[in-house]
Structure 1
Amino acid sequence: MFYEDLTEYDYQVLDAFSGRGPELHELWYRPAYKRLNVGWLEAGRPYFTGPVPAAAVERLEAIREIQWMNQCLGTHECDLCPPEEAPEGNGEVRIPGPPGVAYAAPVLVAHYITAHGYRPPQAFIDAVLAVDLDAWAAARWPEVPFPWVPDDAEHMEE
């Protein structure tokens, strides 16, 4: 699935966070912020390459572990890799940007950086580095690791 960097995200109308743990939890809402695509790469489509600070990659990998956003039932394999080596992803991450903007990236974005030399826009890298990872990791249901969840978000708990 390809989307050009910094174009408006329109894949899903709602944003949905899944809870971590044995219980089924989900929170969904219509975002009040603008979502911009970052890192939606596809074989045969050009993308920017270049160095990315190791701290940004490490932080993206940590965010992937604590923020479960728009999890899908199926998986998406990296089609830039040989099929027998392709990692799979099945969700997204949201990174707060400037006021009213969040970056929407696939969970494979760190893989694209490390394995394929992808260089996200600098604004995204800066936003990733600004994430308060300790606060996000400490979030416990019904809180989620993202600051802009509206008060009227719908919760499902089982």
Structure 2
Amino acid sequence: MTYFADLTHAYSLFDHDTVRYEWGTLDYRPRYERLSVGWLDASQPFDTGPVPDGFADALLDIVGNPAVNETRGLHRCEFCPSDTSLIADPRSDGESWLAFREIRVPARPGVMFAAPALIWHYVSAHAYRPPAEFVEAVQHYDAGWATEPSPWIPPDGERAVWGRTARNVMLRCVRCGQKFELHYTPDEPGRRALSLATQQLREQCPDHGKEWEFCDKVR
């Protein structure tokens, strides 16, 4: 998985953020700084230890509330055995993966914590202890940051309405690096793109399973 040191401005996966709503998605270039937390890698040490009671549950509540940057690849937990390394959202009965989305947590004016949704798994299964600033921000989290009008959401964002707005994105096979375009019209949050991407990869890279990652939108 991509590694960024905690509390650095190293986040560089995408120059835009995409937030999912009931009506569709809003894609925008953030005007806030993105402060990295929880981008762990097996080759790098990380802090471990106890976290406040209820913190893991509060963190899980943030996943999908709102959903940020969905369908940008299926990333496995590098600290789990390979046969159990694809982590499901415990609220989804195994039908949705944590590893294809991110979360945003307001830190202070103009600064947003950027973390993978897998951070909940790292905390609950691998004793990861996030920085104290992040823990406090999670405990005081308000999902209203994504409700427009909002100082966090620029007015010039690009909207895509479910079932109406066509999307073109570029995907890449994790194993061989082959890139391919995916054309679809979203009619269900996240799942249609995920299933179509997996199907298309199996057709173009039949020997490489279903591991893919999002490259970028096709302009």
Shared fold (TM-score, shorter chain, > 0.5): yes
User: What is the Cα deviation at residue 147 of structure 1?
Assistant: 6.3
Taking structure 2 as the reference length, the TM-score comes to 0.62
Partner of 1:118: 128
Paired position in structure 2 for 1:37: 36
Q: 1:154 aligns with which of 158, 164, 185?
A: 158
Q: Encode CA deviations 1:37-90: one digit per residue, 9 max, x unaligned.
A: 100011121001111113221111011132210112431111110111221510
The gaps in structure 1 that reach 5 residues or longer are none
Q: Distance in 2 between matches of 1:68 and 1:26?
A: 10
Q: Which amino acid is the alignment partner of residue 6 of structure 1? A: L
How do 1:1-150 and structure 2 match up within 5 A? Answer: 1-8=2-9, 9-20=11-22, 25-86=24-85, 87=87, 88=97, 89-132=99-142, 135=144, 143=147, 148-150=152-154
Unaligned runs of 5+ in 2: 88-96, 165-219
Q: Distance in 2 between matches of 1:132 and 1:73?
A: 25
What is the Cα deviation at residue 32 of structure 1?
A: 0.8
Q: Which has the greater radius of gyration?
A: 2
Q: Deviations over 1:114-158 (max 9, x none)?
A: 11111111000111111135x57xx8xxx47x8611222221112
Count of aligned positions? 148
The percentage of aligned residue pairs carrying the same residue is 41
**71-80 vs 28-37, greater mean Cα deviation:** 71-80
- Greater length-normalized contact order (CA 8 Å, ≥ 6 residues apart): 1
Provide the C-alpha distance between the structure 1 equivalents of 2:78 and 2:151, rounded to a whole number of angstroms. 32
**In the superposition, relative to structure 1, how do residues 42 and 101 fare at CA in structure 2: closer, same or farther (>3 Å)?**
same
Partner of 1:60, secondary structure, is helix
- Does the C-alpha gap of structure 1 residues 54 and 84 become closer, same or farther in structure 2, counting only changes over 3 Å? farther
The ranges of structure 1 where at least 4 consecutive aligned residues each deviate by more than 6 angstroms after the TM superposition are: none
Change (3 A) 1:73 1:120: closer
Does the C-alpha gap of structure 1 residues 63 and 43 become closer, same or farther in structure 2, counting only changes over 3 Å? Answer: same
